[in-house]
Amino acid sequence: MRRGWFLPIAATLGFAFLYLPIISLVVFSFNESKLVTVWSGFSTKWYGELFADEQMLGAAWLSLRIAFFSASFALVLGTLCAVALVRFKRFRGRTVLAGTVSAPLVMPDVITGLALLLLFVGMESTLGWPAGRGIVTIIIAHTTFCMAYITVVVQSRLSDLDLSLEEAAMDLGATPFRVFFDITLPIIAPALVSGWLLGFTLSLDDLVIASFVSGPGSSTLPMVIFSKIKLGVSPDVNALATIIIGVVALGVVAATIIGLRGSSKVKRA
Amino acid sequence: MTLTGNQLPPPRRLRPWSGLERRLRDVGISGRTLVIAAPAIWLTVFFLVPLFVVFGISLATKQFGRPPYSPLLTTEGGTVQLTLHLSNYLKLFTDPLYVAAYLSSIRIALIATIITLFIGYPMAYAIARAPDKWRNILLMLVILPFWTSFLLRVYALSGFMRGNGVINQILAVFGIEPLVMMQTDFAVYVGIVYTYLPFMILPLYTTLVKLDTSLLEASADLGSRPWQTFLSVTLPLSLPGIIAGSMLVFIPAIGEFVIPSLLGGPETLMIGRVLWDEFFGATNWPRAAAVAVAMLVVVVIPILLLQKAQDAVVEKGK
């Protein structure tokens, strides 16, 4: 096939569009001046300022805890859901379950947030639980939408899975319980890891839903960042963004390398 | 003695969960039921029921107190009275603010989706046609921004486009007057395209990478020009990817709040922002609920379209 010049140029421009703003954000986090767009010398003082900001650190700690629990609960529920959808071809309500689990993926955040808040308020006045809103209500809300993403990730891995391995184990007398933990789980483990990480980052990133379902005194990191950048530019947000982007980039690059090694091993075997 | 085919025991029907099933059946539930029930109950309680609650509250009116809306059911002297207010919905149709906000949300989301498609399609195609060793790296470069904070990417973009931002500094080098980009609808378009581009590229890539290249060669052999081949072979075959990608951008863009509030101007009217202001600003929860119900009506057809297209993408991917 003839290779034209159009595709490479389009792709290069596209990637430039995706990356230039992020690169400039990282560069200006090391800027001396408070103006985040005018270069006036190298400095790491915004990082110092960031780590002295009690409010920011408190919010970060809260967000990390919420993300950890939401991703973990969502991993269990999402894996069960994926198993149900891939392994059980026919059961009552399968289409409803399949539709419901993927709906939070695209549901506008404002609707999800408002709906859950109204549910929590209604439950509080009729059942007396949850008393007030805060970390628990945010974890429930995040679990629900993280679960949708994890189901998709695990589902695609499960449907690629070679059934004959499980069948062989069954023929050799393994109980289904053992088959799941000894055969299925190790094979889908990479999907579980990436699903959990995806849930963790999504929870860490959510502003809109958390704003609805959080209570007084439980401001998550995105809520603090949002109110800061609403007021104008602040270089310590650049510093924070640089740290987050650095961690994510390291993680994704490492995962890609491990993934490539894994797939080349499979090819060799 | 030799075993012939018909002497072999019939193959056992494999039911992967039967053992767990047996164990749990003793307690009265089957393992299968448990696996299905746990996520199903969670989604019912925390996803489906809340949507009905929103609908219910949208029929109440604002009142002072906790919670700040009128009860739907009241008991007075032994009679239960159901009070439904349609005023919120009437307001949605009569107040030009709401109608304008819906129309402008749809317009902004639609235009942004089309721009994203035009930028994303060549990128997805380029990645799908790239040499093997490049393909994974390029895919990783598409996915990487998706993992970094959405909010921070919008912030990065605002630093790029503001009055003394990078773009205007580059323009200044060439002696071009600074452009006003921030707080305009233009900035909102750029914001949506920028943040949702990976959602467009991934499903497109999935359909394009599976494209049978022999079809393209056949088309070329039969004398088609490259653009004719593209229009008559590539484009129709990648249609599921186009629909899935477009819906993945269009649906969340309609309800977008962060982008219009950080990049758009005060006159950028989007329904997600109206809902937010109604709830947090005016604390009119029933009105916000009615806005949400109306938004749901707008996105329900795109959501169904998306699910159909996604099934097709998955089928093609096999």
**What percent of chain A has a predicted confidence (pLDDT) above 70?**
94
Question: Quick one: which of B87, B105, B54 has its CA closest to B285?
Answer: B54
* Residues on chain B touching A253 (C-beta within 8 angstroms): 140
Same domain, B276 and B202: yes
Same domain, B194 and B116: yes
Find which of B151, B228, B284 to mutate to test the A interface (most A CBs within 10 Å of its CB): B151
Contact A66, A203 (CB under 8 A): yes
Nearest to A7 by CA among B196, B215, B124, B198: B124
pLDDT at A43 over 90: no
* Listed residues B82, B103, B134: the one ending a domain: B82
> Contact, A120 vs A133, CB < 8 A?
yes
Q: What is the mean pLDDT of residues B37-60?
A: 92
- Residues B175-211 pLDDT 10s: 888 878 878 889 999 999 999 999 999 999 999 988 8
Across the interface, whether the CB atoms of B272 and A108 are under 8 A apart is answered: yes
Task: Please report, for the domain that includes residue B163, its CATH number.
Answer: 1.10.3720.10
Output the pLDDT for position A218. Answer: 86
Q: Would you state the torsion angle of the CA atoms of residues B186, B191, B194, B196, taken in this order, to the nearest 10 degrees?
A: -120
Question: Do A206 and A99 reside in the same domain of the chain?
Answer: yes
Within-domain flag for A263: yes
Considering the domain architecture, whether residues A92 and A212 belong to the same structural domain is answered as yes
Range with lowest mean pLDDT among A127-141, A147-161, B24-38, B70-84: B24-38
- What is the C-alpha to C-alpha distance for residues A207 and A110, in angstroms, rounded to an integer? 10
Mean pLDDT of chain A: 85
Q: Could you tell me if A253 and A157 lie in one domain?
A: no
Q: What is the pLDDT of residue B126?
A: 93
pLDDT for A151 equals 93
| B96 and B58 inside one domain | no
Give a yes or no: residue B198 inside a domain: yes
- pLDDT range class, residue A37, cuts 50, 70, 90: low
Quick one: B114 and B71 in the same domain?
no
Please determine, for residue A15, whether its predicted confidence score (pLDDT) is greater than 90: yes
Q: Are residues B98 and B230 in the same domain?
A: yes
When scoring A70, A118, A233 by the number of chain B Cβ atoms within 10 A, the one with the most, hence best to mutate, is: A118
pLDDT of residue A1: 44
Task: Compute the average pLDDT of residues A10-37.
Answer: 85
Closest of B105, B116, B145 to residue B268, by C-alpha: B105
Residue A149 structural domain:
53-221
A222 φ, ψ to 5°?
A: -60, -35
Q: Using the beta-carbon criterion (under 8 Å), do B47 and A144 form an inter-chain contact?
A: yes
Shared-domain flag, residues B239 and B192: yes
Average pLDDT, chain B: 84
B18 confidence band (pLDDT: 50, 70, 90): low
Task: State which residues form the domain around B173.
Answer: 87-317
Judged against a pLDDT cut of 60, whether residue B1 lies above it is answered with no
B196 to chain A: closest CA residue? A18
Of B82, B105, B122, the last residue of a domain is B82
Task: Answer whether residue B239 is part of any domain.
Answer: yes
The reply to whether B162 touches chain A by the CB within 8 Å rule is yes
ipTM: 0.87
* Residue A227 one-letter amino acid: S
Residue A105's domain is classified under what CATH number? 1.10.3720.10
* CA angle at A132 for the pair A213 and B57, rounded to the nearest 5°: 60
pLDDT, tens digit, 9 for 90 and up, residues B86-97: 888 998 889 898
- B153 to chain A, any CB pair closer than 8 A? The answer is yes
Same domain, yes or no: A166 and A267: no
Lowest mean pLDDT among B19-23, B163-167, B191-195: B19-23
Measured between beta carbons, the chain B residues lying within 8 angstroms of A141 are: 46
Please check whether residue B161 is in contact with residue B146, taking contact to mean a CB–CB distance below 8 angstroms. no
Interchain CB distance below 8 Å, A22 and B156? yes
| Same domain flag for B144 and B28 | no
User: Are residues A82 and A185 both part of a single domain?
Assistant: yes
pLDDT of amino acid B5: 47
Q: Which is higher by pLDDT, B7 or A191?
A: A191
Let me know whether A142 and A175 are in one domain.
yes
Quick one: pLDDT at residue A269? 44
pLDDT grade for B294, boundaries at 50, 70 and 90: very high
Same domain, A159 and A265: no
Contacts of B16 in chain A (CB under 8 A): 87, 166, 170, 176, 179-180
Chains A–B, number of C-beta pairs less than 8 Å apart: 274
End position of a domain, from candidates B31, B53, B82 = B82
Q: Which residues of A touch B102 (CB under 8 A)?
A: none
Work out the minimum CA distance from B94 to partner chain A, whole angstroms. Answer: 22
pLDDT at B29: 61
What total number of domains does chain B contain?
Answer: 2
Identify from B17, B26, B41, B42 which residue to disrupt to test chain A contact, counting A C-beta atoms within 10 A and taking the largest count.
B42
Q: Is B231 within the bounds of a domain?
A: yes
Rounded to an integer, the average pLDDT of A188-199 is 89
Our count of domains for chain A comes to 2
CB of B279 less than 8 A from some CB of A: yes
Binning pLDDT at 50, 70 and 90, where does residue B27 land? low
B269 and B122 assigned to the same domain: yes
Q: What angle do CA B132, B138, B144 make, to 5 degrees?
A: 140
Least confident of B72-76, B156-160, B182-186: B72-76
**One domain for residues B224 and B246:** yes
Point out the domain boundary residue: A201, A221, A241: A221
Q: Give, in order, the Cα–Cα distances in Å from B275 to each of B269, B281, B288.
A: 11, 9, 5
Instruction: Give Dmax (Cα) for chain B.
Output: 96
Q: Are B148 and A22 in contact (CB under 8 A)?
A: yes
Query: What is the pLDDT at residue A235?
Result: 82
What pLDDT does residue A118 have? 93
Residue keyed to tokens 């690629």: A160
Higher pLDDT, A131 or B242: B242
At residue B84, does pLDDT exceed 60?
yes
**Model confidence at B250, in pLDDT bands (50, 70, 90)?**
very high
Backbone angles phi, psi at B79, to 5 degrees: -105, 135
Q: Are residues A78 and A200 in the same domain?
A: yes
> Which of A14-23, A127-136, B129-138 shows the lowest mean pLDDT across its residues?
A127-136
* B26, B32 contact by CB (below 8 A): no
Q: Is residue B11 domain-resident? A: no
Position A69 pLDDT exceeds 90: yes
Contact B35 A229 (CB under 8 A): no
**Do B154 and B184 sit in the same domain of this protein?**
yes
Looking at the fold, whether B71 and B91 belong to one and the same domain comes out as no
Q: Are residues A109 and A208 in the same domain?
A: yes
Token pair belonging to B192: 């949506």
**Do A146 and A241 belong to one domain?**
no
Give the per-residue pLDDT at A60.
92
- Do residue A62 and residue A108 come from a single domain? yes
One domain for residues A241 and A199: no
Give me the pLDDT at residue A254, please: 83
> Which residues, 6 or more positions from A150, have their beta carbon under 8 angstroms from its beta carbon?
A74, A75, A77, A78, A79, A82, A195, A196, A198, A199
Among A208-222, B8-22, B174-188, the least confident range = B8-22
Task: Please judge whether B122 and A10 are an interchain contact, meaning their C-beta atoms are less than 8 angstroms apart.
Answer: yes
Same domain (yes/no): B198, B65: no
User: Closest Cα to residue A145, out of A208, A102, A181?
Assistant: A102
